[in-house]
Structure 1
Amino acid sequence: MAIGKLYIGRKVREIREANRATQGQFAERIGISTSYLNQIENNQRPVSAAVLLALAEKFQIDIADLSSGEGDRLLSALSEALSDPLFETYSPSLQELKLVVQNAPGLAHALITAHQAYRRNGEQLASFDDRLGQTTGLAEPTPYEEVRDFFHFVDNYIHALDLAAERLAARIGLGEGENHTLLLQHLEREHGIEVVRGDPADEHMRRFDPVTRRLSINPYAPAPSRDFQLALQIAQLQETALFDAVIAEASFRTDEAAEICRIGLHNYFAGALILPYQPFLKAAREARHDIELLATRFGASLEQVCHRLSTLQRPGAKGIPIFFARIDRAGNITKRHSAAKLQFARFGAACPLWNVHQAFEMPGRIIRQLAETPDGVRYLCLATQITKGGARFGTPRPRYAIALGCEISYADSFVYADDLDLTNRAAYDPIGISCRICERVRCPSRAVPPLKRKLVIRHDQRGTLPYEITD
Structure 2
Amino acid sequence: MAEKKIFAGPRVRRIRAGLDLTQTAMAEALGISPSYLNLIERNQRPLTVQLLLKLAAVYKVDLDELQGEAAGAVAHLREIFADPLLAGEVPGEHELMELADAAPNAANAVVKLYRAYREQTARLSDLAALLAQEGHETSLSGARLPMDEVRGRLERRANFFPRIEDAAEAFHARLAPADDLSGALKAWLKAEHGIAVRLLPVEAMPDLRRRYDRHSMRLFLSGRLSPFDQTRELAQEAALLFMGTDILAELDGLGFEGDEARRIARFELARYAAHALMMPYGVFLAAAVRTRYDIDLLRSRFAVSFEQAANRLTTLARPGASGLPFFLMEMDHAGHVLRLAGAEGFPRVRFGGLCPKLNIHSAFAQPSQVLVDRVEMPDGGGFLTISRTLEGPQMPFSERVRRSAVLVGCDIVHKDDVVYGQAAVAAVPAGTACRLCERRGCLSRAEPPVTRPLGLDEMVSGLSAFDFQ
Q: Which has the larger radius of gyration?
A: 2
For 1:186, what is the secondary structure of its paired residue? Answer: helix
Contact 1:390 1:396 in 2 (8 A): no
Provide structure 1 residue ranges, at least 5 long, that are not aligned to the other structure.
1-79, 101-107, 118-139, 422-426
Matched, 1:182 2:184: yes
Measure the CA separation in 1 of the matches of 2:408 and 2:325.
11
Alpha-carbon RMSD across the aligned residues, in angstroms, is 2.7
**Counterparts of 1:33-432 in structure 2 under 5 Å?**
84=126, 97=135, 108=137, 111=138, 113=139, 115-117=140-142, 141-174=144-177, 176-201=178-203, 202-203=205-206, 204-339=208-343, 343-344=347-348, 350-421=354-425, 427-432=426-431
Measure the CA separation in 2 of the matches of 1:151 and 1:188.
34
Q: C-alpha displacement at 1:340, in angstroms? A: 6.3
Q: Deviations over 1:210-256 (max 9, x none)?
A: 22211111234211011001001112222222233333333324211
Contact 1:83 1:437 in 2 (8 A): no
Q: C-alpha displacement at 1:450, in angstroms? A: 1.4
Identity among equivalent positions (%) equals: 33
Residue 53 of structure 1 corresponds to which residue in structure 2?
none
Contact 1:309 1:322 in 2 (8 A): yes
Measure the CA separation in 2 of the matches of 1:282 and 1:358.
32
Which amino acid letter does the alignment assign opposite residue 188 of structure 2?
H
For 2:321, what is the secondary structure of its paired residue? Answer: coil
Q: C-alpha displacement at 1:282, in angstroms? A: 0.6
Q: Deviations over 1:239-293 (max 9, x none)?
A: 2222333333333242111111111111111111111111111111111111111
Q: C-alpha displacement at 1:388, in angstroms? A: 0.4
From the superposition, tell whether residues 458 and 346 of structure 1 become closer, same or farther in structure 2 (CA, over 3 Å). same
Measure the CA separation in 2 of the matches of 1:295 and 1:432.
31
Residue 51 of structure 1 corresponds to which residue in structure 2?
none
Which amino acid letter does the alignment assign opposite residue 393 of structure 1?
F
Which amino acid letter does the alignment assign opposite residue 145 of structure 2?
T
Measure the CA separation in 1 of the matches of 2:175 and 2:287.
19
Identify the range of structure 1 (355-364 vs 434-443) with the bigger mean alpha-carbon deviation.
Answer: 434-443
Provide structure 2 residue ranges, at least 5 long, that are not aligned to the other structure.
1-121
Q: C-alpha displacement at 1:160, in angstroms? A: 1.0
Which amino acid letter does the alignment assign opposite residue 421 of structure 2?
A
4+ long deviations beyond 6 Å: 80-83, 91-94, 345-349
Measure the CA separation in 2 of the matches of 1:179 and 1:245.
26
Measure the CA separation in 2 of the matches of 1:169 and 1:93.
41
From the superposition, tell whether residues 466 and 184 of structure 1 become closer, same or farther in structure 2 (CA, over 3 Å). closer
Q: C-alpha displacement at 1:81, in angstroms? A: 9.3
Aligned length: 346
From the superposition, tell whether residues 280 and 244 of structure 1 become closer, same or farther in structure 2 (CA, over 3 Å). same
Measure the CA separation in 2 of the matches of 1:93 and 1:218.
44
Which amino acid letter does the alignment assign opposite residue 258 of structure 1?
R
Measure the CA separation in 1 of the matches of 2:284 and 2:351.
33
From the superposition, tell whether residues 391 and 329 of structure 1 become closer, same or farther in structure 2 (CA, over 3 Å). closer
For 1:468, what is the secondary structure of its paired residue? Answer: coil
For 2:385, what is the secondary structure of its paired residue? Answer: strand
Contact 1:217 1:226 in 2 (8 A): yes
Which amino acid letter does the alignment assign opposite residue 226 of structure 1?
Q
Measure the CA separation in 1 of the matches of 2:370 and 2:123.
34
Measure the CA separation in 1 of the matches of 2:228 and 2:257.
35
Q: Deviations over 1:388-443 (max 9, x none)?
A: 0224322442111111122222112222223554xxxxx10101111122232332
Calculate the TM-score normalised by the size of structure 1: 0.68
Q: C-alpha displacement at 1:342, in angstroms? A: 6.9
Q: C-alpha displacement at 1:317, in angstroms? A: 1.1
Residue 465 of structure 1 corresponds to which residue in structure 2?
464
